[in-house]
Chain A
Amino acid sequence: MRRSLRAVLLGVLGVLLVAAVWDLYKAFGPEQGVLVGERVLILPRASDLAMPHTWEMVQRLFEPATGLRGAPTALEAVLEASGFTLSIAAKGWAIGVAVGLLLALLMSRFKLAESGLLPWVVLSQTVPLIAIAPLVRRWGAQIEFGSFTWENEHSVALIAAYLAFFPVAVGGLRGLKSPARTHVELMHTYGVGWWRTLITLRLPASVPFLLPALRLAAASAVIGSVVAEVSIGLRGGIGRMVVEYAQSAGGDPAKAWAPIFGAVAVGLVAAGAVGLLTLALRPFRLTETSR
């Protein structure tokens, strides 16, 4: 209990420290930044436009988002957009994890699948998101069966999944192949087949490899959703909001920071959710002890 309290206090202290450094620089840093030569800016401008006071950013959260009558506060708008993005990222994460695990299983079961698939899995991550986003949207638009029609929302979730599956596939494969030879041979001497070896030995042994992969997948899913919202042009999420609010930065510099805080919050919540999963799987985190 005391340790967790300490962790919370240290966390808060860290945030306050960043805020303090920000405002100290703003107070003492040069208005035009520090230039090397004509063009290379090595320290940022400390102007109000580039660096609003931290308290102004916080204050701005509680003011109306737009000039319209009855507009919600910026905080409410950001929270709503964050929730929207988070739900898309969660769907993308779930799909990505499922696909990643399936691929890992397939690759660990068949040597041929591993040598055939793994290069493609790696290659898939070198394709820039901005290039595939419009493609996904166009292909998706042609999908229609029954009452189901493909929405832009689905395209965003798919792209989030596209980023999320990678760490799970690679980490899962390593984890499934991690049991020592002694363990595998022991299962063989018990005369149990692949399936039961998987359940009894390989899956539990892969947990220490899977947990960081799942966390990485959560972060990737959030980034994927935010970027895909922008490149597909999906309204309602935090990605689009970042772009919209940035446009008003000229007259209202603190406002642009509100959705950025929202994006950070989404990332933290996603990582925290996976952290809960870590707690549930704690027994399996015990590392190899019997050499």
Chain B
Amino acid sequence: MTLTDPVPHNGPDNGSDTGPDTGPDTGPNTGPNTGPNTGPPAVAAIEVVGVDRVFRRRRDEVVALSDVTVSVAAGEFVSLIGPSGCGKSTLLRLVADLDTPTSGTISVFGKTTRQARRDQDYGIAFQQAGLLPWRTVASNIELPLKLHGVGAAERRARSSELLELVGLQDFGRHHPDQLSGGMQQRVAIARALAESPRLLLMDEPFGALDEITRERMQNELVRICRETSAAVLFVTHSIPEAVFLSDRVVVMSPRPGRIVDIVKAGGAEMGTSHERTDEVRDAAGFFHTVAAVREHLHGVPVNGARGVESR
């Protein structure tokens, strides 16, 4: 990975650079990637190296992913963006061990994806909330804990904690059908967080929500990530959403699915992914980054745009 970032002193650290503003210590609350002086570099949350995924249907071959290499550092927020068919969901499914790569390797916290899944190293949320309709909101959140043998008292404590985190403390006893789409999605996120994973995999979790709910959910997600300091791999097809939430945006293109570029979202006006507020949506740096991502998506070469990483 070569850095074309114009700002110096951002050297070859562990690949989790959070932008030029992290040079001096900016306080204890800037998340785990505050620079190289916080001890030895943590093992990457996700390490994808040279991954291909080819689907064979009868005689047709569809190359869903071709030579994809990307990593997500601990505590980092990385979005995958691209038109449909670019393999962004496929990549997420590979990381989640819901699918196996045709070639290449993927490790999650230094383990195989299979081991990581068995160890419950990640929580996952899909576009559909996927709540079990016959369970109450609280027992939906407790489901993974219950399946892994956590005692009832501990489960209840955890679910009320999580309900508070997602702002649904009064809805624990409701059933999912009594909740709006946005509220259901919050429950799904709470469920993904139930076992305090260090990694969240999210496949267009806000894709089915209206724009207003969506922005509110994005703000919530920023806060949740700050409070849990989990790394996130986030699939979306919304450019502003990707830029607003992420430390880095991985731009992908279809046929075959591959990475076009990795755009860094940060800088003085935006801060790290944990520092985003509604003001960021109006910041010039935000618009620049959105423009950069858009240009990559449309295949126009970008010359010297701020905060851009080329591969």
Binding site for B on A (CB under 8 A): 180, 182-183, 185-186, 188-192, 196, 200-201, 204, 207, 283-284, 286-291
- The docked-state distance in angstroms from the alpha carbon of A139 to that of B19 is 83
What are 26 A-B pairs with beta-carbon distances under 8 A? Answer: A182-B126, A182-B128, A185-B126, A186-B130, A189-B97, A189-B98, A190-B120, A190-B143, A190-B148, A191-B117, A191-B120, A192-B147, A196-B147, A200-B132, A201-B132, A207-B134, A283-B134, A286-B134, A287-B133, A287-B177, A289-B133, A289-B176, A290-B128, A290-B129, A291-B128, A291-B208
User: Smallest CB–CB gap between B162 and chain A, Å?
Assistant: 16
- The docked-state distance in angstroms from the alpha carbon of A291 to that of B181 is 10
Contact A188 B98 (CB under 8 A): yes
Given known A-B contacts A286-B175, A289-B176, A291-B208, A191 and B133 have beta carbons under 8 A apart: no
Binding site for A on B (CB under 8 A): 96-98, 117-118, 120, 122, 124, 126, 128-134, 143-144, 147-148, 175-177, 184, 208
- The docked-state distance in angstroms from the alpha carbon of A196 to that of B120 is 17
A200's partner among B122, B128, B143 (CB-CB below 8 A) is: B143
Inter-chain contacts of A180 with B (CB < 8 A): 128, 130
Given known A-B contacts A289-B177, A291-B208, A190 and B144 have beta carbons under 8 A apart: yes
Give the secondary structure class of A's interface: helix
User: Smallest CB–CB gap between B146 and chain A, Å?
Assistant: 8
- The docked-state distance in angstroms from the alpha carbon of A200 to that of B139 is 12
User: Smallest CB–CB gap between A176 and chain B, Å?
Assistant: 15
Inter-chain contacts of A287 with B (CB < 8 A): 133, 177
Inter-chain contacts of A186 with B (CB < 8 A): 124, 126, 130
Inter-chain contacts of B132 with A (CB < 8 A): 183, 200-201, 204
* Chain B residue at smallest Cβ distance from A285: B134
- The docked-state distance in angstroms from the alpha carbon of A284 to that of B96 is 29
* Chain B residue at smallest Cβ distance from A291: B128
Contact B134 A182 (CB under 8 A): no
List the 9 closest pairs (A to B, CB-CB), nearest first: A289-B177, A182-B130, A290-B129, A286-B133, A284-B134, A191-B118, A289-B133, A290-B131, A182-B128
- The docked-state distance in angstroms from the alpha carbon of A206 to that of B120 is 28
- The docked-state distance in angstroms from the alpha carbon of A191 to that of B184 is 23
Inter-chain contacts of B177 with A (CB < 8 A): 286-287, 289
Contact B143 A290 (CB under 8 A): no
Contact A288 B144 (CB under 8 A): no
B117's partner among A189, A201, A289 (CB-CB below 8 A) is: A189
User: Smallest CB–CB gap between A236 and chain B, Å?
Assistant: 43
* Chain A residue at smallest Cβ distance from B126: A182
* Chain A residue at smallest Cβ distance from B129: A290
- The docked-state distance in angstroms from the alpha carbon of A5 to that of B148 is 47
* Chain A residue at smallest Cβ distance from B201: A189
* Chain A residue at smallest Cβ distance from B114: A191
Q: Which of B122, B128, B132, B148 has most A Cβ within 10 Å?
A: B132
- The docked-state distance in angstroms from the alpha carbon of A291 to that of B144 is 20
A185-B98, A189-B97, A290-B131 given; name 15 further pairs at CB < 8 Å.
A186-B126, A188-B117, A189-B124, A190-B143, A190-B144, A196-B147, A286-B133, A286-B134, A286-B175, A286-B177, A289-B175, A289-B184, A290-B133, A291-B128, A291-B129
